Amino acid sequence: MEELRLMASARSVGRAVKVGGKELKVIAAAPAAFDGLDLAFFAADGAIARALAPEAVQRGCLVLDKSSAFRMVADVPLVIPEINLEATRGHRGIIASPNCSTAVALMGLWPLHQAFGVQRAFFSTYQSVSGTGAEAVEELEAQVQAHVRGELMPRKVYPYQIAFNAIPQVDSFGADGYTGEESKMREESRKIMNLPSLKVSATCVRVPVVRAHSVAVTAEFERPVDLARARAVIAEFAGAELTDDPSKSVYPTPLDYTRKVKCGVGRLRRDSALDNGLSFWVSGDNLWKGAALNSIQIAEAMIREGIALTPSR
């Protein structure tokens, strides 16, 4: 028997949502609600994931979690199916989906790593406000509306005005001067690509874009890089779309990669500061590949490859 249950907090209980032509009522997320389910897609914050994921697992359910709660836990696979689907074998009931900026950046970096062996990566992000949540999208819109009316801009979510500005802070600061987002890009890249000593440095910046994150990537490789081969491996990679024709001003932009399954990779060039270096630009939908879509792709790929959904004991 097939059954889909939509769960949310008390605030949304009873709301009707149409899924595949059928109207479903939202029920309360609670331990017992997971009884009898095979798969649960968690798209809540870390605290809720920590409280409910073990309950779901106890009830025989595989949890695909998009929060940061379990990503760096040793026995939890952190997965981008185009990269490390094999890591899902032998899971213990929870599989984590990566941070949005990391997912987008690796859609370009992984195929290049396969070809040339990445040693070091520098990321500068151009992140959309939807990564912060619905209230941040509303804040940007309200600020733009106020600007047009010549009124003072309301400000609540971000520490600075985001309309017509750039804020070099995503998440809170650690003792090393890096933000949580920047540390995630380092740690999660290492775990997903299984390169524990990969050198990564990130600067994460919020820009007045509604949706889709972009990342300027400069990477140093073990082996000499060949630009034609680099373009070919990007074009062949399932998670990426090669959008790269500088002579015609063809490259990805966040607007063009909003609501796209694949991430766009362009501006590929030999790096002018590194011997075996490549620089590129990647744009991808932070709410799709950077979030729930990746969880769905994990489940689809596991089923397709016959990987057990029930946890190994």
| Beta-carbon-side half-sphere exposure of residue 78 (alpha carbons within 13 Å) | 23
What is the nearest approach in angstroms of a copy of itself to the Cβ of residue 230? 11
What is the nearest approach in angstroms of a copy of itself to the Cβ of residue 243? 11
CA distance 88 to 93: 10
What is the nearest approach in angstroms of a copy of itself to the Cβ of residue 200? 6
Q: Which is nearer to a copy of itself, 97 or 130 (CB)?
A: 130
Q: Which is nearer to a copy of itself, 87 or 163 (CB)?
A: 163
What is the nearest approach in angstroms of a copy of itself to the Cβ of residue 212? 9
Torsion angle (degrees, nearest 10) of CA 179, 185, 186, 190: 160
Active site residues: 100, 213
Comparing C-alpha atoms, which of 134, 110, 137 is closest to residue 121? 110
Q: Which is nearer to a copy of itself, 5 or 120 (CB)?
A: 120
Which positions ≥6 away from 263 have C-beta within 8 Å?
Answer: 104, 107, 108, 239, 240, 241, 252, 257, 282, 283, 284, 285, 289
Q: Which is nearer to a copy of itself, 117 or 311 (CB)?
A: 117
CA distance 148 to 61: 50
What is the nearest approach in angstroms of a copy of itself to the Cβ of residue 104? 13
Q: Which is nearer to a copy of itself, 19 or 148 (CB)?
A: 148
Which positions ≥6 away from 27 have C-beta within 8 Å?
Answer: 5, 6, 7, 13, 33
Q: Which is nearer to a copy of itself, 21 or 150 (CB)?
A: 150
Q: Which is nearer to a copy of itself, 92 or 147 (CB)?
A: 147
Q: Which two tokens stand for residue 282?
A: 């990647």
Q: Which two tokens stand for residue 8?
A: 């949310």
Which positions ≥6 away from 249 have C-beta within 8 Å?
Answer: none
Comparing C-alpha atoms, which of 262, 232, 266 is closest to residue 246? 266
> In a 10 Å sphere around its CB, with 0-12 CB exposed, 13-18 middle and 19+ buried, how is residue 32 labelled?
exposed
The residues of the shown chain that bind a copy of itself, judged by CB under 8 A, are 120-122, 124, 126, 144-145, 147-148, 159-161, 164-169, 173, 176-178, 186, 199-201, 203, 205, 207-210, 214, 216, 218, 227, 246-247, 249, 251-256, 266-274, 277, 279, 281, 283
User: Quick check: 95 and 126 in contact, CB under 8 A?
Assistant: no
What is the nearest approach in angstroms of a copy of itself to the Cβ of residue 202? 8
CA distance 279 to 194: 22
CA distance 96 to 189: 13
Whole-number Cα distances in Å, 203 to 101, 124, 167 = 11, 5, 11
What is the nearest approach in angstroms of a copy of itself to the Cβ of residue 140? 8
